[in-house]
């Protein structure tokens, strides 16, 4: 697999272009591979089973959300989703985390979950084998089915 890229804004890339080869090492990959949203919450599926004790602790997750305003001008400030007239980001209130029987999917219950231009969820977890699984996912919620 080869990946090509161009330098854009907000980057620390050393060069303006790149062509890199990505090879499978034969070792397990520890990362989120899917995210879905519904009325029950945000469902994040991982490539490896998680440590169930870590996965069900809401303190291991955090997040923010915000909207942009479309205008004739370039760019936009960030605006609260909960209070649209206020500039800034909202902090997500993650009230519960449940893990699926196979240990790979976590469902996060988020108070006042609603559509947002940008929502970020950060997680600091461990896989069942003890390997750290720490990252963040940025996504858009267009609608909640």
- Give residue 18's pLDDT: 84
Q: What is the mean pLDDT of residues 35-42?
A: 98
- φ, ψ (nearest 5 deg) of residue 75: 80, 175
Residue 113, domain member (yes or no) = yes
Residue 7, domain member (yes or no) = no
Q: Report in angstroms the alpha-carbon separations of 84 from 66, 124, 143.
A: 9, 30, 17
Is the confidence at residue 126, as pLDDT, over 80?
yes
Residue 63, domain member (yes or no) = yes
Residue 10, domain member (yes or no) = no
If pLDDT is split at 50, 70 and 90, which confidence band does 105 have?
A: very high
Tell me how many domains the chain contains: 1
Residue 117, domain member (yes or no) = yes
DSSP three-state, residue 25: coil
Q: Do 79 and 67 touch, CB atoms closer than 8 A?
A: yes
- Give residue 59's pLDDT: 98
* Domain of residue 125, CATH code: 2.60.40.1220
Percent of the chain exceeding pLDDT 90 equals 86
DSSP three-state, residue 62: strand
CB neighbours of residue 107 within 10 Å: 16
Cα–Cα distance for residue pair 36/143, rounded to 1 Å: 11
pTM of the model: 0.87
- φ, ψ (nearest 5 deg) of residue 47: -80, -20
- Give residue 17's pLDDT: 81
Residue 11, domain member (yes or no) = no
Q: What is the mean pLDDT of residues 88-108?
A: 98
Residue 6, domain member (yes or no) = no
Residue 18, domain member (yes or no) = no
pLDDT digits (tens, 9 = 90+) for 44-92: 999 999 999 999 999 999 999 999 999 999 999 999 999 999 999 999 9
The range of the structural domain enclosing residue 72 comes to 28-141
Is the confidence at residue 94, as pLDDT, over 90?
yes
Q: To the nearest whole number, what is the mean pLDDT of the chain? A: 95
pLDDT digits (tens, 9 = 90+) for 4-14: 888 777 777 77
């Amino acid at each position: 697999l080869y990946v090509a890229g161009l330098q854009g804004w907000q980057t620390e890339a050393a060069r303006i272009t790149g062509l890199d080869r990505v090879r499978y090492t034969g070792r397990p990959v520890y990362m989120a591979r899917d995210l879905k949203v519904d009325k029950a919450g945000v469902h994040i599926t991982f490539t490896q089973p998680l440590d169930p004790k870590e996965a069900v602790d809401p303190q291991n997750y955090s997040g923010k959300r915000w909207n942009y305003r479309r205008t004739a001008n370039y760019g936009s400030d960030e605006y609260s989703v909960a209070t649209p007239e206020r500039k800034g980001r909202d902090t997500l209130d993650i009230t519960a985390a449940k893990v699926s029987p196979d240990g790979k999917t976590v469902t996060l219950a988020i108070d006042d979950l609603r559509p947002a231009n940008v929502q970020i969820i950060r997680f600091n977890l461990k896989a069942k084998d003890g390997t750290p699984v720490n990252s963040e996912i940025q996504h858009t919620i267009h609608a909640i089915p």
